[in-house]
Amino acid sequence: MAMYVFKDSARKVKLLAKDAFKEDKGVRFYCPNPTCDAHMHICSRSGSSTFYFSAQIKGHGHIENCPHYASNNFDPIKYNETEFDFNKALLALTEKSKPQTKKLDPGEHEQGPVVPKPPRTIRQIYDMCIAYDCTDTYNGIVIGTMLLYDGSAYMYSNADDVIGWRVIEAKRDKPNFYDSVKKEIYLVAPIGRQKYKFLLRFDDEAQYKAMQKEIYANKDNKIIVAGEWNFSEKQNKLSTTVLSKKQTKIIK
């Protein structure tokens, strides 16, 4: 699903879901991905006035690997936007998971309505960003300042603009994307322009090996990484330390 589409095939006239009307439900719109010819239409949840866009007509769906395909399961109704704090969310991803404690009475459950939580996992945050236009906002934060990808690349005129807490959509650097002696992995982003080089450092060797093997097994897939990035002029790379598996995800 997507929270925005284009009214024309040239992708010049944008329509945000929040500005859509019920009267437009029969109108065909265009997928934000310029290489995808999916027929997008306005949809809404039963009993909800919140709209989103989806390609549901047989034979006119998304192309393979389109970021706006159904695999993007972001549903704004299921998340608490007002509680979302981007920096805190990414900081939490760097913390190692705590062991879960068993309840004394696992058969008993608390009663009451389920309160939606803000996006927390790196996939939830990524899907949220991709669902919206990079110039739109989520709880007052501009989408493009949270995620560096092809759509928001123009917002980053130099490496200094990437410094800080950020999610990047990247691919492995070629020809060599790792250094086992230094426990480092090398990526490039945004994927289309490959403007910046990134370096992932690992303190834990087992974690490094697991990530290196995962990337090697998915050489052509996207890699998303959440971290606090710093720029090293000596290495001409933006770097972060991966402290938890929660910081990275392969997008297949």
Which residue, 42, 63, 78, sits at the end of a domain? 78
In a domain, 21, yes or no: yes
The DSSP annotation for 73-117 comes to: ---GGGB-GGG--HHHHHHHHTSPPPPPPPPS-TT----SPPPPB
Residues 74 and 17 in one domain: yes
* Tens digit of each residue's pLDDT (9 = 90 or more) over 188-235: 999 998 899 999 999 999 999 999 999 999 988 999 999 999 998 888
Residues 145 and 74 in one domain: no
In a domain, 160, yes or no: yes
- What does the pLDDT read at residue 148? 98
Residues 130 and 74 in one domain: no
Which residue, 78, 101, 134, sits at the end of a domain? 78
In a domain, 95, yes or no: no
The number of folded domains in the chain is 2
- What does the pLDDT read at residue 49? 64
In a domain, 34, yes or no: yes
Residues 153 and 241 in one domain: yes
Predicted confidence band at 76 (pLDDT cuts at 50, 70, 90)?
confident
Percent of the chain with pLDDT over 70: 89
Question: Do residues 201 and 183 touch, judged by C-beta distance below 8 A?
Answer: yes
* Tens digit of each residue's pLDDT (9 = 90 or more) over 95-139: 976 655 555 455 555 556 678 999 999 999 999 999 999 999 999
> pTM of whole model > 0.75?
yes
Instruction: Give me the CATH number covering residue 132.
Output: 2.40.50
Query: How far apart (Å, rounded) are the C-alpha atoms in residues 147 and 114?
Result: 29
Residues 39 and 132 in one domain: no
Residues 130 and 72 in one domain: no
Residues 131 and 200 in one domain: yes
In a domain, 101, yes or no: no
Residues 226 and 137 in one domain: yes
Residues 162 and 247 in one domain: yes
- Parent domain of 43: 4-78
In a domain, 129, yes or no: yes
In a domain, 116, yes or no: no
pLDDT at 71 over 70: no
Token match 């695999």: residue? Answer: 71
pLDDT greater at residue 9 or residue 26: 9
pLDDT at 144 over 60: yes
Predicted confidence band at 153 (pLDDT cuts at 50, 70, 90)?
very high
Residues 43 and 140 in one domain: no
In a domain, 103, yes or no: no
Which residue, 45, 78, 111, sits at the end of a domain? 78
Residues 134 and 231 in one domain: yes
Residues 245 and 167 in one domain: yes
